[in-house]
Amino acid sequence: MDEETDGIRQNRLPERSIDTADRRLLGVLVEDATVSYAELGEKAGLSAPAAHERVKRMRRSGAIRQTVAMADPRSVGKPLLAFVHVDTRGWGKTPELMAVSSFPEVEEIHTVAGDACILLKVRTEDTRALEGLLARIYDTPGVTSTRSYVVLSTYLERPVQPGITQDWPAPKLGTNPIY
Amino acid sequence: MDEETDGIRQNRLPERSIDTADRRLLGVLVEDATVSYAELGEKAGLSAPAAHERVKRMRRSGAIRQTVAMADPRSVGKPLLAFVHVDTRGWGKTPELMAVSSFPEVEEIHTVAGDACILLKVRTEDTRALEGLLARIYDTPGVTSTRSYVVLSTYLERPVQPGITQDWPAPKLGTNPIY
DNA sequence: CTTGAAAAGTCAACATA
DNA sequence: TATGTTGACTTTTCAAG
C-alpha cells in the first residue's frame, strides 16, 4: 500500500495517485490496448473487473488521456517528417501562431527554452508540401525565421512509457529504421 | 488474442491501398479507438462487419501500426519533456547509440538532415534526471556534443492524422497548454 | 450485408483487508 | 470504507453463409 496520506482531502477533481498495479496495467495498455480485460488483468495480477475498474478510473482521472490507433505515416501519404524551430518577434505564444494546430500536418506544438521559441513536429507528403507549410508559417505575424530538421530515418517512436516497475521487455533496439 | 506477436515482425506488406472509407475509419480510430465497430461503422457510413473487416485488413497491412493507450506524462512521473540534438563523430547510426532506446525516457530516435546528426525526444522526472540521461548519452562512443531544448509548455500533441477527406472537426486550438 | 455462436464487457451482491 | 471477487447477464465480436 503506497498510500499518500497527506491528510487534507479537498475536492480535487483529478485523483492522480497511480500505484503499482495501475503502472502494470498502463505498461500493458501502452503497448497494446486491444487486449481483453481478462488478459489485461491476468498480466497485471488482477481479475478482469478489477482491471476494468482501475482502467476506468485512470481514464476519468486523466492518467490515461486517450486510447488511439497509430496510423502508419506512409500509408496515409505523409512519409516526410520534420521538426521545425520557429523564431518569433516578442513572446511567440500568440493565438495566430497557435492556429497552426488547424493544419493536419502539424502534430506537435511546444514552446521551448533554447535558441528557438517554438518547436513544431510536422508530417507532410513531400518536400514541396513542407515548403508550402513553411510558407504558411512564415505568413503568421511575428514569425521571423524557421529552421527545419528533416528526418532521414526514424528508429524509435513510441508513446509515453509509464516507467519501470519490474521486468520490462527490452524494446526492439532498432538498427533498421521503422519508417 | 493470445497471439505471441512480439512486434519483431516489421513486415512491410505491399498491400498499402488506403481508400476513402479507410481514411474515414482511421480518422475516427486515431481520435478514439475505444468505439465499438457498430459505432465506428455508423460514423464512417459502413455496417459494423464491413468496418471490422476493413480495420482488420489495415492492421494486417500495417496501415494501423498499433492501438495504444496514451498515458499522461505527469501521472507517470515524467513531467519534463526535452528534445536533444546529438552530434557525433562520423556517421552516428551506431548500434551503441541506437541502444539508448533501452532507456524508457527516450521516446523517439531520428537521424536528421541539418546541423545535428541525431534527434531524441526524451521525457524525464526532472532536470536532474535529464542531466543523468545526458551524461549517459555523452558516454556513448562517438558522441561529441548535445544541445537540449527543454519544453516549457505543450500546446498540441496528437498522433498521425490520416489526412482530410472531408469535413474535419477543428482541433481545439490550444491557447492553454495541455501539460 | 445478414446471421448466430462464441467471446468479451458489464453489473450486482458478496467477500476481504 | 474502499477495493477485489465471483457469477449472472448483456453487448460485441467475428467467421460462415
- Residue at grid coordinates 492553454: B176
Residue A177 Cα, gap to closest chain B Cα (Å):
9
| Residues of chain B found within 8 Å of residue A23, distances taken between Cβ atoms | 76
| Residues of chain B found within 8 Å of residue A119, distances taken between Cβ atoms | 83, 149, 151
Amino acid code (one letter) for B44: A
A45-65 pLDDT, tens digit each = 998 999 999 999 999 999 999
CATH number of the domain where residue B24 is located:
1.10.10.10
CATH number of the domain where residue A104 is located:
3.30.70.920
Q: Which residue has the higher pLDDT, B81 or A14?
A: B81
Q: How far apart are the first and last CA of chain B?
A: 34
Question: Taking a C-beta distance cutoff of 8 angstroms, is the pair B83, B133 a contact?
Answer: no
Q: How far apart are CA A11 and CA A25, in angstroms?
A: 26
Q: B65 and B45 in one domain?
A: yes
pLDDT band at B12 (very low <50, low <70, confident <90, very high): very low
Do B160 and A32 make contact, defined as CB atoms within 8 angstroms?
Answer: no
The number of helices, as runs of H, and strands, as runs of E, in chain B is: 5, 5
Q: Does a structural domain hold residue A108? A: yes
Q: Does a structural domain hold residue B167? A: no
Q: A123 and A97 in one domain?
A: yes
B40 touches strand C (CB under 7 A): no
Q: A138 and A84 in one domain?
A: yes
Lowest mean pLDDT among A55-59, A80-84, B90-94: B90-94
Q: Which residue has the higher pLDDT, A87 or B115?
A: A87
Copy the grid coordinates of residue B79.
513531467
Domain that holds residue A65: 18-70
The number of C-beta contacts closer than 8 angstroms across A and B is 272
Q: Does a structural domain hold residue B111? A: yes
Average pLDDT (A67-87) is 96
| Residues of chain A found within 8 Å of residue B33, distances taken between Cβ atoms | 33, 67-69
Is A7 within 8 Å of chain B by CB?
A: no
Q: Which residue has the higher pLDDT, B92 or B171?
A: B92
Do A106 and B156 make contact, defined as CB atoms within 8 angstroms?
Answer: yes
Q: Does a structural domain hold residue B11? A: no
Which chain B residues in 78-117 lie under 8 Å from chain A, judged by CB atoms? 78, 81, 83, 85, 93, 95, 98-99, 101-102, 104-114, 116
Rounded to two decimals, the pTM is 0.85
Is A38 within 8 Å of chain B by CB?
A: no
Q: Which residue has the higher pLDDT, B75 or B95?
A: B75
Residue B32 Cα, gap to closest chain A Cα (Å):
5
pLDDT at position A7 over 60: no
- The SS3 of residue B129 is helix
Query: Which of B1, B77, B106 faces A163 most closely, judged by CB atoms?
Result: B77
Q: Does a structural domain hold residue B65? A: yes
Q: A88 and A61 in one domain?
A: no
Q: How far apart are CA B41 and CA B72, in angstroms?
A: 29
Q: B66 and B32 in one domain?
A: yes
The number of helices, as runs of H, and strands, as runs of E, in chain A is: 5, 5
A121-145 pLDDT, tens digit each = 999 999 999 999 999 999 998 899 9
Q: A91 and A59 in one domain?
A: no
pLDDT at B171: 53
Query: Which of A95, A152, A157 faces B108 most closely, judged by CB atoms?
Result: A157
Q: B99 and B41 in one domain?
A: no
pLDDT at B157: 97
Q: Does a structural domain hold residue A6? A: no
| Residues of chain A found within 8 Å of residue B1, distances taken between Cβ atoms | 34-36
Q: Does a structural domain hold residue B113? A: yes
Q: B87 and B52 in one domain?
A: no
Q: A88 and A47 in one domain?
A: no
Q: B99 and B59 in one domain?
A: no
Q: Does a structural domain hold residue B35? A: yes
Q: B110 and B60 in one domain?
A: no
Element (H, E) at A138: helix A127-139
Average pLDDT (A76-99) is 90
Total domains in chain A come to 2
pLDDT at position B44 over 60: yes
A52 touches strand C (CB under 7 A): yes
Q: B95 and B41 in one domain?
A: no
Is B144 within 8 Å of chain A by CB?
A: no
pLDDT at position B165 over 70: no
